[in-house]
Amino acid sequence: MVQAVQELTLEKVQQAVDAILDILGSPENDLHAEAYEAFRRGDYQTVKRLASTNLSDYYSKALGYLGGALKLTANTDTILAESARAAADFKREKTLQQLGAAIAAALN
Protein backbone atom coordinates (compact mmCIF):
# COMPACT_ATOMS: atom_id res chain seq x y z
CA MET A 1 0.00 0.00 0.00
CA VAL A 2 1.40 3.39 -0.99
CA GLN A 3 1.19 6.14 1.59
CA ALA A 4 0.41 9.69 0.60
CA VAL A 5 3.43 11.96 0.73
CA GLN A 6 3.01 14.43 3.56
CA GLU A 7 4.29 17.97 3.40
CA LEU A 8 7.69 18.48 4.99
CA THR A 9 7.99 20.87 7.87
CA LEU A 10 11.07 22.06 9.68
CA GLU A 11 9.77 20.37 12.82
CA LYS A 12 9.48 16.97 11.10
CA VAL A 13 12.90 17.27 9.49
CA GLN A 14 14.42 18.32 12.82
CA GLN A 15 13.06 15.13 14.37
CA ALA A 16 14.82 13.10 11.68
CA VAL A 17 18.01 15.13 12.14
CA ASP A 18 17.88 14.52 15.90
CA ALA A 19 17.49 10.78 15.34
CA ILE A 20 20.59 10.75 13.12
CA LEU A 21 22.55 12.81 15.66
CA ASP A 22 21.55 10.32 18.36
CA ILE A 23 23.00 7.47 16.30
CA LEU A 24 26.23 9.37 15.73
CA GLY A 25 26.64 10.08 19.42
CA SER A 26 29.30 12.30 20.92
CA PRO A 27 32.34 13.30 18.87
CA GLU A 28 35.19 10.83 19.34
CA ASN A 29 38.13 12.76 17.95
CA ASP A 30 39.20 16.25 16.92
CA LEU A 31 37.72 15.93 13.42
CA HIS A 32 34.37 14.85 14.78
CA ALA A 33 34.38 17.63 17.39
CA GLU A 34 35.20 20.25 14.77
CA ALA A 35 32.48 18.99 12.42
CA TYR A 36 29.91 18.72 15.21
CA GLU A 37 30.61 22.20 16.55
CA ALA A 38 30.44 23.69 13.05
CA PHE A 39 27.13 21.90 12.50
CA ARG A 40 25.72 23.21 15.78
CA ARG A 41 26.78 26.76 14.80
CA GLY A 42 24.99 26.38 11.47
CA ASP A 43 28.29 26.58 9.59
CA TYR A 44 27.28 23.89 7.12
CA GLN A 45 29.90 24.86 4.55
CA THR A 46 32.68 24.04 7.02
CA VAL A 47 31.05 20.70 7.76
CA LYS A 48 30.84 19.92 4.04
CA ARG A 49 34.51 20.88 3.62
CA LEU A 50 35.53 18.59 6.47
CA ALA A 51 33.51 15.76 4.93
CA SER A 52 34.99 16.38 1.48
CA THR A 53 38.56 16.35 2.79
CA ASN A 54 38.06 13.30 5.03
CA LEU A 55 36.35 10.99 2.60
CA SER A 56 36.58 7.82 4.68
CA ASP A 57 35.06 9.39 7.80
CA TYR A 58 31.38 8.50 8.06
CA TYR A 59 30.72 10.79 11.05
CA SER A 60 31.64 13.94 9.15
CA LYS A 61 29.91 12.60 6.03
CA ALA A 62 26.64 12.18 7.93
CA LEU A 63 26.89 15.69 9.35
CA GLY A 64 27.85 17.06 5.95
CA TYR A 65 24.51 16.03 4.53
CA LEU A 66 22.38 17.21 7.43
CA GLY A 67 22.72 20.94 6.90
CA GLY A 68 21.18 20.58 3.47
CA ALA A 69 18.19 18.72 4.90
CA LEU A 70 17.21 21.74 6.95
CA LYS A 71 16.66 23.79 3.77
CA LEU A 72 13.43 21.86 3.01
CA THR A 73 13.97 21.35 -0.70
CA ALA A 74 12.71 18.66 -3.03
CA ASN A 75 15.92 16.77 -2.15
CA THR A 76 15.35 16.72 1.61
CA ASP A 77 14.23 13.07 1.66
CA THR A 78 17.31 11.99 -0.28
CA ILE A 79 19.62 14.07 1.89
CA LEU A 80 18.18 12.55 5.06
CA ALA A 81 18.51 9.05 3.61
CA GLU A 82 22.16 9.59 2.67
CA SER A 83 22.94 11.06 6.08
CA ALA A 84 21.23 8.12 7.77
CA ARG A 85 23.23 5.65 5.66
CA ALA A 86 26.48 7.40 6.60
CA ALA A 87 25.49 7.36 10.29
CA ALA A 88 24.72 3.65 10.06
CA ASP A 89 28.07 3.03 8.36
CA PHE A 90 29.80 4.95 11.17
CA LYS A 91 28.07 2.83 13.78
CA ARG A 92 28.92 -0.35 11.86
CA GLU A 93 32.63 0.53 11.63
CA LYS A 94 32.72 1.38 15.33
CA THR A 95 31.06 -1.93 16.19
CA LEU A 96 33.47 -3.89 14.00
CA GLN A 97 36.43 -2.23 15.72
CA GLN A 98 35.02 -3.05 19.15
CA LEU A 99 34.32 -6.66 18.22
CA GLY A 100 37.75 -7.08 16.64
CA ALA A 101 39.41 -5.80 19.81
CA ALA A 102 37.26 -8.09 21.96
CA ILE A 103 38.11 -11.11 19.82
CA ALA A 104 41.81 -10.22 19.87
CA ALA A 105 41.72 -9.90 23.66
CA ALA A 106 39.89 -13.21 24.04
CA LEU A 107 42.27 -15.10 21.77
CA ASN A 108 45.53 -13.72 23.15
Asked whether the beta carbons of 59 and 27 are under 8 A apart, the reply is yes
Per-domain residue ranges of the chain: 24-107
Q: In the chain, pLDDT over 90 holds for what percent of residues?
A: 92
Query: What is the distance between the alpha carbons of residues 92 and 69, in angstroms, rounded to a whole number?
Result: 23
Q: What is the pLDDT of residues 43-89, one digit of tens each?
A: 999 999 999 999 999 999 999 999 999 999 999 999 999 999 999 99
pTM: 0.89
Query: What is the distance between the alpha carbons of residues 91 and 107, in angstroms, rounded to a whole number?
Result: 24
Of 72, 91, 94, the C-alpha closest to 17 is 72
- Work out the angle at residue 36's Cα, subtended by the Cα atoms of residues 26 and 42, and round it to the nearest 5 degrees: 145
According to the model, what pLDDT value does residue 1 have? Answer: 56
What percent of the residues of the chain are helix, what percent strand, and what percent coil, each to the nearest 5? 75, 0, 25
Asked whether the beta carbons of 20 and 87 are under 8 A apart, the reply is yes
